[in-house]
Structure formats: C-alpha cells, structure tokens
C-alpha cells in the first residue's frame, strides 16, 4: 500500500471570509500561498489541512450536487487532541465563534469527546483517547 503523508479535506463553504473568521477564532491558521477569493488552506497541523472552497469553485471538482449540510450529514471530521482540557477549549472557542454543539458530550472513561457544527453545517468531533485506560478485550 502507498504511504499517505498528508490529508487535505475539501469542504464547500457559502462565504469564505465568514468561514475564515470562524476558524481563526477557534485557533486555526491559513496558508496564504493557497488562498484567493475561491479557496483557502486551513492548517490543522503540519500534515492535516482543510481546503475551504466557495461552493461555485467546489462544484468545478465534482459532477454531483453539493450536499445541504444544514439538513443532511455528509461526513464527520474527527480531530484527536492531547487532553480533556484541549477538547473543551476547542469546543468552547467554536461555540463562542457561532458554532453549535449538535449532541451531548461523550465520556467513556478512556475516551472523551465533544462536537460542533460549523457555520456551513459541517460536523466536527474533537476527542481525547487514553489508550492506557482502554478496556482490554
């Protein structure tokens, strides 16, 4: 199997500047080399990126309709962080920036997670998993 080095998740957005403002408030940065009026590259870390593409531009890459993520789920983007506190911090920033929590907190002891819906209806889960505390089978 080929080695995968990076991931670029492509997400359609209605208003690029509004989305950039939202994700900036959460703490993400953007690569100006891959930013113009049609798209921007949101840096999640040094190997994970989200390309935010205005819907008209996103449509040039597909031959299907763009999902109405306000009414339907198309995907859940799950981000692993280093602690319970980091989960809460990221979620609280998302909520303060205008996102909404779409289901209750999940605490399974070894795994702790929360979620938010961004301004375009994309679903994000943020979780911490303590592998040492994971039940043995």
What pLDDT is attached to residue 131? 80
CA–CA separation, 54 and 37 (whole Å): 8
Alpha carbons 29 and 24: distance in angstroms, whole number: 6
**pLDDT tens for the 137 residues of the chain, in order:** 888 899 999 999 999 999 999 999 999 999 999 999 999 999 999 999 999 999 999 999 999 999 999 899 999 999 999 999 999 999 999 999 999 999 999 999 999 999 999 999 999 999 999 888 777 77
pLDDT at 106: 95
Task: Please choose, from the candidates 61, 79, 45, the residue with its C-alpha nearest in 3D space to the C-alpha of residue 11.
Answer: 61
Candidates 61, 109, 118; CA nearest to 90 is 118
Please name the residues in contact with 75: beta carbons below 8 A apart, sequence gap of 6 or more.
122, 123
pLDDT at 3 (0 to 100): 86
**What is the per-residue pLDDT for 136?**
77
Full set of structural domains in the chain with CATH: 7-59 (3.10.180.10), 75-137 (3.10.180.10)
The 3-state DSSP class for residue 99 equals: coil
State the pTM of this model.
0.91
pLDDT of residue 38: 98
């Amino acid at each position: 199997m080929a080695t995968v080095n990076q991931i670029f998740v492509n997400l359609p957005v209605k208003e690029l500047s509004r989305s950039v403002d939202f994700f900036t408030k959460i703490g993400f940065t953007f690569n100006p080399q891959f930013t113009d009026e049609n798209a921007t590259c949101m840096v999640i870390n040094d190997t994970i990126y989200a390309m935010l593409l205005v819907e008209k531009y996103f449509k040039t890459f597909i031959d299907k309709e763009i999902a109405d993520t306000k009414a339907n789920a198309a995907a859940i983007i799950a981000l692993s962080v280093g602690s319970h506190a980091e989960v809460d911090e990221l979620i609280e920033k998302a909520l303060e920036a205008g996102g909404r929590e779409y289901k209750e907190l999940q605490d399974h002891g070894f795994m702790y997670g929360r979620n938010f819906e961004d301004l375009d209806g994309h679903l994000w889960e943020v979780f911490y998993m303590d592998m040492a505390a994971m039940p043995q089978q």
